[in-house]
Every structure is written in C-alpha cells, then in structure tokens.
Amino acid sequence: MEQKKRVLLGMSGGTDSSVAAMLLQDAGYEVVGVTFRFFELNDSTEYLEDARILASRLGIRHITYDARKIFHERIVTYFIDEYLAGHTPVPCTLCNNYLKWPLLAKIADEMGIFYIATGHYAQNIQLNETFYITYAADSDKDQTFFLWGLKQDILNRMLLPMGDITKAEARAWAAEHGFRKVATKKDSIGVCFCPMDYRTFLKDWLVRNGQMSVSNSEASINNSQTSGSDKQTWSDRIRRGRFVDEKGNFIAWHEGYPFYTIGQRRGLGIHLNRPVFVKEIDPENNEVMLASLSSLEKTEMWLKDWNLVNQERTLGHSDIIVKIRYRKQENHATITITPDHLLHVQLHEPLTAIAPGQAAAFYKDGLLLGGGIIVNAR
C-alpha cells in the first residue's frame, strides 16, 4: 500500500481513539496503533490491554511507546514548577503541542508512514497552501483550544476522523458494530495525572520530595484543628500565609500560595459576607490578594511561546476571537507583535481572571489561527 494510505493512530484505549481506528479503517486506511505510556494513575495499565484487544479485533498492528520519563520531565515537572511560581499551568496544551503530536510524527517517520491521527474532536482543512484546524461538529467536545501550537509540518499530515461526529454518535456507532465496552467507557476528566484535584496532587508531591513533613501534610489535608505554625508549615517557601485585600490589609490565613489560582472563589476556606475572588498571587511574600469580581477585569495581555498559523490573517485585525478557557468564553481582540517579540492582545471587552501561565487561542471564521502562553495582563 502506498505510504500516504497508511496512518499512525494514537490509541489511548478510550472511546474516541477506538472509534477513530474503526472510522479510519472504513475510509480505506491501513491503520497502525500506538499507545503512549505517559502516566499510569495508581499504576493501572488496563488502558494498554484495552487498546491491544481492540487492535487485535480490528486486525491492526499495535505497538506501545514508553514516554513516562519524558512526560515527567516536560509535563509533570512543568506543572509543579508553574504552581510554585504562582502561575496557572496548561499541561494538556503543552502535551499536545510539544509532546504527543511530535512523538506521533517521529514514530511515523521511523515507520515510513505519512499520516498521523488521534481521537481529538476537531477538524482540519486546507486553504490555498496553508492547513488549519477548525471547530468540531460537537461543540460540547470541541478540543481545538488545545492544538494552537501545532505547525504546518504536523497540520499537513494529520487526520481527525472524530471531527465531524458527536460523542453520542461515536458511542452509538461503536455499539452498533459490536464494541460494547468501547461504547460505554467513561469520559476522561481533567488532567490525566491528577484528574480531580491538583491541590491534593501537589501536596502529595511536596511530601514525597521532602518539601514538607507527613505530619504537617496530614494536618493540613485533614483540616486538623492543631494550633500554631505546625498546622500550616509546608516548607520554608510553602507555608501558611496571608489573604489580603487590595490595600494589603489582612483578611485571613491561607494554606500556602501554590494552592490557589487567579479567579478562584470556591475552596478558599474563609467565610465573608461578600463574594471574593483571587486577584493576585505573590509567591515572594506568600500572599494571596482577594477582591471583587469586577476588579479582576483586564483589557490587554501579553503572550510568550506563541505560534501563528497565518500572520496575515491574524495580526492587526479587529475581529479576532480570543479564548483563554476551553469552553464557552470568547472575546474579540486585536493582536500585534511587540518589539520584544511578545504578542500583545488588546481586548475589545474586559475579561476576568486572566492568569500568568494560562493559554490563549485565536480564532477567525472558524479557523484556529494560533495562540500562546500568557505572561502578563492589565
């Protein structure tokens, strides 16, 4: 079979990549599946067996690729470092743009395969000589936000078979073809290595890496009523600190600055007669500033590590849509490049809870035009 009719598919063992394998086969491709070992929560490898069994049923060659070391170095360590810097990390964005898709391309090249694919809910098109990612048919599952960093060397060979169907249709399709387990698998939630609560993950990491004592960890996690500094001492750097208002006045004590994110309202552990949100995080002084929601509004931001698919379509136009959240939110903006090579995003409407470390993605006419990592906002 000619090289361009072969495709290397990332198979996680879940519903989406499994249905993607079947759809690619139906479209006439020779599919080879690769399952990446990125992180195994509670040492579970059930996903490997699920992917292997599915590949066997479909007659697909299947391989595994152990990427745990590089995943820890590039994603987990980054995730921890960003919270320790008072930032809000975007591990799924970095994993997709700088690890998962480049690894797929690398392995495909080594196997003499041109096309690479995943089960992402997104579509892609070619306009003139440029390839773009576009919104998925299922707006509730659309994952374009995580793919803004991909460049033409990836975009020109990617296949996205799940882009034009909904999740409900994918489950029904699997069931109709006799893949009952695939059809009923639960959706993955959150970050793969801490699917529910990053604070618990971070506290556990601090214990395992000698940044805090187990007794102090247990006291804080279990909300012990022990008194004195022992209750909240995480380390010389991460310890009990001050919630303050915009004038610097003391409000209450917090557990330690890494356990809060800009825009956060719930889980502060304090009770006031008014709603307050995290406005700023000061790692040097271990202070977390609280304020009203309106005071979190910003009208411009600056981005580093940016990628633009087509600068002519993006720069200087007043009708660019910018998103800093996976779902729902979108604002209009004008984007320019600063002399120090940052992207400046001038928002046309105020936007709340912009945090350093977050990602911003740009859209126009349904096309994903690029994005970057937020450095600052005001």
Alpha helices by DSSP H, listed for the chain, are 15-26, 46-58, 68-71, 77-84, 91-95, 101-111, 152-155, 167-176, 180-184, 198-208, 214-221, 311-314
**What is the Cβ-side half-sphere exposure of residue 270, based on CA atoms within 13 angstroms?**
22
CA nearest to 39, candidates 83, 9, 7, 77 = 77
Average pLDDT of the chain, as a whole number: 90
Domains of the chain: residue spans and CATH: 3-184 (3.40.50.620), 197-237 (no CATH), 240-295 (2.30.30), 297-377 (2.40.30.10)
Residue 231 pLDDT exceeds 50:
no
Residue in 34, 90, 94, 95 annotated catalytic: 95
Residue in 63, 84, 192, 221 annotated catalytic: 192
Residue 227 pLDDT exceeds 50:
no
Residue 82 pLDDT exceeds 70:
yes
Model confidence at 237, pLDDT cuts 50, 70, 90, reads low
CA nearest to 201, candidates 323, 25, 79 = 79
pLDDT tens digits, residue range 294-338?
999 999 999 999 999 999 999 999 999 999 988 768 899 999 999
d(CA 215, CA 221): 10
Residue 130, CA distances (Å) to 35, 96, 106, 133 in order: 29, 20, 22, 10
Which pLDDT value is given to residue 4? 59
Which pLDDT value is given to residue 212? 57
92 is known as an active-site residue? no
Model confidence at 236, pLDDT cuts 50, 70, 90, reads low
The model's pTM is 0.90
192 is known as an active-site residue? yes
d(CA 177, CA 22): 9
* DSSP secondary structure of 207-262: HHTTSS-HHHHHHHHTT----SGGGGB--SSSB-EEEE-TT--EEEEES-GGG--T
More confident call, 185 vs 1 = 185
